[in-house]
Amino acid sequence: MDTLTSLAALPRHAPKLPDAPVVGGTPKKPLRVAIVHYWLVSMRGGEKVIEELCQLFPQADIFTLVCDESRLSARLRQHRITTSFLQKIPGARRHYTKMLPLMPFALEHFDLQDYDLVISSESGPAKAIVTRPDALHVCYCHSPMRYIWDQFHLYRKGLPWIGRVMMSLTAPILRVWDVTTAARVDTFVANSAYIGSRIRRFYNRDATVIHPPVAVDDFKLGTGQGEFYLYAGQLTGYKRADLAVRACTESGRRLVVIGEGEQTAHLRAIAGPSVTFLGHQPFPVLAEHLSRCRALLFPGTEDFGILPVEAMASGRPVIAFDAGGARETVSSPDVGLRFAEQTVEGMLEAINAFEARESEFDPAVIRRHAERFSSEVFRSRFRTLVEDLLTSRAMPGVDTQAGSSA
């Protein structure tokens, strides 16, 4: 048999040889974790998620565009916080949202090459950070950037003319950049199925749903049927506080409004004597009113909406517009009801339906429903997800279990 014939006789696909053994080496190093958040200037829902992630990964370093440490919790201040060059711009801690065109450059300047696990917390451009090729990048997405996607026209309308011009010029470029940088994420985690659908629409990516943490134990269980209806939250247009104010004004029902915003003056002008405005209140006052109200009125569309869960943690029913995260939180007739038409008439119809069976609501049952969204549930689900992802991704020389906390 000549050489050509012998070569032709060989199998077309040779069997895969086993990997060569690795000899020696050094002990595995601890898992290095970076948490990237768009900005840290208050302690709201997104920052509460960061707190829970810091409890899971006490060794984590935090990266953020702009930070005001005086407004952060003690837990966050315990971690090393690295800010971007935007921090050095005068007035950055107040006017950070106006720096959107600079944010891509600021984020991509963060050096994350030493980190094995990167968790970006996203409702701005945080997912765009550049990681090491073999690092795991998990993005917890509160929402794709509203101001360049579905609420672009709403945000643009509220700007002065120069701002509208700049937004019109930069938004198309930012949309392309936003979609492109979604490819830098290994796994998306959405805070609700509603946000999961938006991630699929804008980025063409699937997402695992893990609802954000709610500190259920911080709320006292109310008793009886309550004294008033409650609206709480920012007084901005898309939250539709006007529906609650008009509905209670027209029907003479007692309503307490906690919160402030650009619509405060307008809402006071349309309110009748049955509506009381308390403005911004500290947490103890909010918690007390949640435990004393007849029901929380929630007429807007939210990505998830922590406040309805806080009301349910207080044993109080929720009357919510049938959209967004409310479909996942107000998901049982035992905890409240949803109305289909986002109008005053729709809200009044829902209030009437609620009052027809108000005595049937059991505060203890409502509280148990809220416990499905507790901080402990969040940490357990997120820890399991990350451990599974790390197990499936070989990281030679890295102890992928190191530093994780319950």
Residue 22 lies in a domain: no
Residues 150 and 284 in one domain: no
Which of the two residues, 168 and 114, has the higher pLDDT score?
114
Lowest mean pLDDT among 205-209, 225-229, 272-276, 360-364: 225-229
Q: How confident is the model at residue 151 (pLDDT cuts 50, 70, 90)?
A: low
Residues 98 and 70 in one domain: yes
- What does the buried/exposed string (b/e) look like for 167-187 if buried means 16 or more CB atoms within 10 Å of the residue's CB? beeebeebbebbeebbebbeb
pLDDT at 6 (0 to 100): 42
Residue 20 lies in a domain: no
pLDDT at 179 (0 to 100): 87
What is the rounded distance in angstroms from the CA atom of residue 329 to the CA atom of residue 194?
12
Closest CA to 233 of 196, 291, 277, 195: 277
pLDDT at 203 (0 to 100): 93
Residues 193 and 222 in one domain: no
The whole domain housing 323 covers 216-373
150-157 long-range contacts, CB within 8 A, separation 24+: 150/198, 151/238, 154/237, 154/238
Residues 106 and 193 in one domain: yes
HSE value, Cβ hemisphere, 13 Å, CA-based, for 214: 25
Q: How confident is the model at residue 243 (pLDDT cuts 50, 70, 90)?
A: very high
Give the mean pLDDT of 360-378: 96
Give the mean pLDDT of 53-60: 95
Residue 2 lies in a domain: no
pLDDT at 16 (0 to 100): 55
User: Which percentage of the chain shows pLDDT scores above 90?
Assistant: 64
Residues 76 and 145 in one domain: yes
Average model confidence (pLDDT) across the chain: 88
Residues 236 and 322 in one domain: yes
Predicted TM-score (pTM) of this structure: 0.84
Which of the two residues, 149 and 117, has the higher pLDDT score?
117
Residues 186 and 74 in one domain: yes
Residue 263 lies in a domain: yes
Residue 1 lies in a domain: no
Residues 192 and 136 in one domain: yes
252-299 residue pLDDT tens: 999 999 999 989 999 999 999 999 999 999 999 999 999 999 999 999
pLDDT of 168 strictly over 70? yes
Residues 278 and 359 in one domain: yes
Residues 265 and 317 in one domain: yes
Residue 8 lies in a domain: no
Q: How confident is the model at residue 22 (pLDDT cuts 50, 70, 90)?
A: low
Cβ within 8 Å of residue 30, ≥6 positions away: 59, 398, 399, 402, 403
Q: How confident is the model at residue 12 (pLDDT cuts 50, 70, 90)?
A: very low
pLDDT of 350 strictly over 90? yes
Highest mean pLDDT among 89-103, 137-151, 391-405: 137-151
Residues 60 and 195 in one domain: yes
Residue 286 lies in a domain: yes
Residues 309 and 202 in one domain: no
74-105 residue pLDDT tens: 999 999 999 998 888 888 777 777 777 788 88
3-state DSSP assignment of residue 72: coil
Give the CATH number of the domain where residue 225 resides.
Answer: 3.40.50.2000
What is the rounded distance in angstroms from the CA atom of residue 99 to the CA atom of residue 148?
14
pLDDT of 330 strictly over 90? yes
Give the CATH number of the domain where residue 167 resides.
Answer: 3.40.50
Residue 232 lies in a domain: yes
What is the rounded distance in angstroms from the CA atom of residue 362 to the CA atom of residue 225?
10
Give the mean pLDDT of 121-147: 88
295-319 residue pLDDT tens: 999 999 999 999 999 999 999 999 9
pLDDT at 149 (0 to 100): 65
Q: How confident is the model at residue 165 (pLDDT cuts 50, 70, 90)?
A: confident
Lowest mean pLDDT among 17-31, 138-152, 231-245, 365-379: 17-31
Total domain count, the chain: 2
